[in-house]
Amino acid sequence: MSDTIENKCIEKGVGLTAQRKIIAQVMSKSNDHPNVNELHKRVSLIDPKVSIATVYRTVKLFEEAGILSKHDFKGGKARYEKVPDEHHDHLIDVDTGKIIEFVDEDIEKLQKKVAQKLGYNLVDHRLELYGSKTKK
Amino acid sequence: MSDTIENKCIEKGVGLTAQRKIIAQVMSKSNDHPNVNELHKRVSLIDPKVSIATVYRTVKLFEEAGILSKHDFKGGKARYEKVPDEHHDHLIDVDTGKIIEFVDEDIEKLQKKVAQKLGYNLVDHRLELYGSKTKK
DNA sequence: ATAATTGCAAATGCTTTGCTTGTGA
DNA sequence: TCACAAGCAAAGCATTTGCAATTAT
């Protein structure tokens, strides 16, 4: 159970080549939200011959397979994390860039309610809080 | 009071050149959320010599002056709208691309509360709902 | 005059893709 | 063998920027 991503690949029928395995492992043990460049750096420590194009392709492949999820926070490059067991949203520290995950069931419910009220089924959403410990 | 953007420019000391005036006027009467390309098209109907570079520069200038606000919805180019009198969030119809504005005070309060609980002051946030009338 | 603004085209920066070579079943 | 994947470099796209020409104060 240590290597969830690899297992998911098998489940979803995603062929695991050597480079995909490395990318999977790196993401498995990452507890942050690296961008593609950062991910490529980490992968390169294991095998410096893996190209960044492969990282881009793999990350997209994993996303489409529901293995990774992609975030486009304000003013930056896309970041990835493993798809979590339970949904969460993010608070971004505007001073440090630190990302904190949180869950708030009430907000989730209200979002669904708002969508319904407007005549829609909520199929997706994006909630990001930008916070500071110092600024008002 | 018909031309809020032009007035704001004067208030904020933003020089109003001929091309900026056109861009201001177009945005003033737009009730949707055009992207730069679309905005440029509309501006071109009035003066086809205005370059898209100027539109980009102006839109950024207006944003920094608090006159326009920029949105990066999923999978698209940046869109702009005039800064509204009262804050609102957006629901995007995933089938048609239509954007609906909404306000929900409860969600607003909860967001602030979540940030506080995590030890932060909420300085900004992004809430987007993606909905469909047909898909579950 | 004198500083700011425009237009154009070239440059960015992230991401994707074409194509040839490599590789696994 | 044969379809799929990787590596490289070139291409894409939205956006930004350098610079010379233009305009406003």
pLDDT tens-digit series, residues B8-19: 888 888 889 999
Residue B23 pLDDT grade (very low, low, confident, very high; cuts 50, 70, 90):
very high
pLDDT for A11 equals 81
**Cα–Cα dist A130/A127, whole Å:** 10
Q: Using 50 as the pLDDT threshold, list the residues of chain A that sit under it.
A: none
| Distance, Å, A59 CA → C14 C1' | 14
Share the mean pLDDT of chain B: 92
* Residue A83: closest CA among A107, A102, A103, A63: A63
Q: What is the CA radius of gyration of chain A?
A: 17
At B98-107, the pLDDT tens digits run 999 999 999 9
Measured in angstroms, the CA of A49 and the nearest CA of chain B are apart by 31
Share the mean pLDDT of chain A: 92
**In this structure, is residue A136 part of a structural domain?**
no
Instruction: Tell which phi-psi region holds residue A97, choosing left (phi > 0), alpha (psi between -120 and 50) or beta.
Output: left
pTM for the structure as a whole:
0.90
Per-residue pLDDT at B25 exceeds 90: yes
Nearest CA in chain B to A74: B72
**In this structure, is residue B20 part of a structural domain?**
yes
| Three-state DSSP class for residue B74 | coil
Structural domain boundaries enclosing A27: 5-82
**In this structure, is residue B55 part of a structural domain?**
yes
Whether residue A18 sits in one domain with residue A41: yes
At B46-86, the pLDDT tens digits run 999 999 999 999 999 999 999 999 999 997 899 999 999 99
The residue behind tokens 């177009």 is B26
CATH number of A34's domain = 1.10.10.10
- The secondary structure of A64-113, three-state, reads HCCCEEEECCCCCCCEEEECCCCCCEEEEECCCCCEEEECCHHHHHHHHH
